[in-house]
Amino acid sequence: MSANLQGCNFSGMKLKKISFERANLTDANFAGATLESISFHDALLKNANFQKASIRHSGFSKAEVPESIVV
């Protein structure tokens, strides 16, 4: 893992052109966030919350997303 961002709250934020590659985002909250051109390549997204997030042009290749909420 690269960066430890476990439990970080990104809810409602507008994020653009950010790399979360190999980051630990366990329990991170992206609810209602606008995510554009984000790389989650090889990231750990266990229990991450993406409820009502707008996700465009973003990649999740090799990301681990067990028990994440995406609605």
Q: For 29-45, how does the pLDDT look when each residue is reduced to its tens digit (9 = 90+)? A: 999 999 999 999 999 99
The pLDDT assigned to 25 comes to: 98
Residues 6+ apart with CB under 8 A from 9: 28, 29
Specify the length of the chain in residues. 71
Instruction: Please report, in angstroms and rounded to a whole number, the separation of the first and last CA atoms in the chain.
Output: 26
The pLDDT assigned to 50 comes to: 97
Residue ranges of the domains in the chain?
A: 1-71
- Structure confidence at residue 24 as a pLDDT band (50, 70, 90): very high
**Residue 24: beta bridge partners?**
4, 44
For domain 1-71, give the CATH number: 2.160.20.80
Sheet holding 14-16, edge to edge: 14-16, 34-36, 54-56
